[in-house]
Amino acid sequence: MFEAAELGQKTSKAEYEAALPELRSRLLAAQRVLRETNRSVIVILSGVEGAGKSEVVNRLHEWLDARGLVTHAFWRDSDEEHERPRYWRFWRALPVRGTIGILFGSWYTRPIIDRVFGKSRRADLDRELQRIVFFERMLIDDGAVIIKLWLHLTKDEAKQRPKKGSIFGKFTKMYDRFAAVSERAIRNSDTAEAPWRIVEATDQRFRDLTVGRIVLEALESLSAPRATPVPEEAEESVARSSKKATQTVLDRIDLTKTISSKKYERDLEKLQAHVAKLAWKAWDKRRSTVIVFEGSDAAGKGGAIRRLIAPIDARLYRVISVAAPTDEERAHHYLWRFWRQLPRDGAMTLYDRSWYGRVLVERVEGFARTDEWSRAYREINDFEEQLVDHGAVLIKFWLHISKAEQLRRFKERQKIAFKQHKITDEDWRNREKWKPYELAVNDMVGRTSSATAPWTVVAANDKRLARLQVLETVVQALR
């Protein structure tokens, strides 16, 4: 694979100086066009140690407008990064729409290094590469352009480069092993949408001009019209996808169960005491907890959350109420705002509504195209799998009430002064789409409930019974 980058290609000083003015002018013009689009550009810079990756980064900063360019170097993992799933650091570094992000080191670095030094098996590398291909496909579907550059040196040339520390020396001594592992990684992650470009890096001028031209080609391609799937009417797509669903998972929930006030108070105190102890044990064992609350409007999510956090030390948890995305959040992939808020090891984060809005409100209300919410199930499954793989305890609740009970609670909120802020015109509009939401919930539970990340559907007509079930489920999961 690397033979094509071992041809000894060179660029003279005269050729370099003659080509540079036009290249820089076109790069800046293409970058201005990028600013007006809803897309981002991600430049992944990898390759042999000593091939000049730092110099290439500096050159791109020199040739491009720094106001629309950000570089992130991944070479030393911080404690903050170690205490979250590995991809957390990469999600935080993704560029805003209309800008360019250069990743000096990337999601390829650790899998390759671990395999080179025998810390992982070939199967581990291949599995990680599958995740990478899916991750890149997800970003591309969201509008990103990914440029993957591999700067290459021959073995002899690599040995002749000045030593820059112990890491450089280790890679030089293991050149053959590194080349073999890297070739496998490149081959298994080279796709039509995100191909690898191998650049011969022996001659600095040839290397820099080649990289500049590859980036220019990608930027100028943005001016070509992008094929966008024709959006369907949300109501039609919901109905069509669930034609056979005469019953849903919600129809099997018994909403008639109740509990006495005396038993509720007794059980509540006991369960809250357990939660308080288990939260500290999770902290001691450095196991993070992520709890998702979804449900119908007025289903009692807020009340359940308050009873859950009441006994927990406030230093251990954070509650995040998810509303419509901000301008900053809309400038990224929809999962970005959830990745960046993940708790550190040992801490707990509770989401009052969550990433499932993509397959619920955005689906039913038509805020997302059919192709967008359809692929979100797999994206969400992958996200949650990474949380669990990292060691997080993931708990997901759907609080379900009847349509009649919702109406009663809506009217109650209108009458009681301190509850009036909870009822809005949007709540009444959502109520008119009760059946489409039921069908969307049915699909959501069916396609995102797994052994490691199951849904717990809570009968919430009786608020007290629902709160106890939430507490019991959290206690069981933490135990």
Count of CA atoms in the C-beta half-sphere (13 A) of 282: 32
CA distance 391 to 398: 23
The pLDDT profile of the chain, 479 residues, written as one tens digit per residue, is 788 788 889 999 999 999 999 999 999 999 999 999 999 999 999 999 889 999 999 999 999 999 999 999 998 888 999 999 999 999 999 999 999 999 999 999 999 999 999 999 999 999 999 999 999 999 999 999 999 999 999 998 888 876 555 455 677 788 999 999 999 999 999 999 999 999 999 999 999 999 999 999 999 998 776 665 554 454 455 545 545 556 899 999 999 999 999 999 999 999 999 999 999 999 999 999 999 999 999 999 999 999 999 999 999 999 999 999 999 999 999 999 999 999 999 999 999 999 999 999 999 999 999 999 999 999 999 999 999 999 999 999 999 999 999 999 988 888 876 666 667 777 777 788 999 999 999 999 999 999 989 999 999 999 999 999 999 999 999 99
- Asked whether the CA dihedral 233, 238, 239, 242 is positive or negative, the reply is positive
Angle between helix 109-116 and helix 175-189 axes, rounded to 10 deg: 140
CA distance 110 to 168: 15
Which residue stretches of 117-203 are H helix? 122-141, 155-160, 166-173, 175-189
